[in-house]
Amino acid sequence: MSTEAIFIITVCGVLAAVAVMGSVGFRIACKLDSKQSEEDERRRIGNNRYQQG
């Protein structure tokens, strides 16, 4: 295999790995964000009930 072919395959592999890590990281961030907003919503509802009661 020529040096150019190895270089191209390496670059493609690195780009693919970065894309996979990016999508996984994005999913994790979305999950954490939705969890956080759920907790905030619960807290808000709890505070409202406490103030009304």
Q: What is the pLDDT of residues 1-53, one digit of tens each?
A: 899 999 999 999 999 999 999 888 888 877 777 777 777 777 877 777 666 65
Which pLDDT value is given to residue 49? 67
C-alpha span between 7 and 15 (Å, rounded)? 12
CB count, 10 Å around CB of 20?
Answer: 10
Residue 10: the pLDDT is: 97
Q: Containing domain of residue 19, as a range?
A: 1-53
Q: Cβ of 34: how many Cβ atoms within 10 Å?
A: 10
| Structure tokens that stand for 12 in this block | 């493609």
Number of domains composing the chain? 1
What's the one-letter identity of residue 42?
Answer: R
Does the pTM surpass 0.85? The reply is no
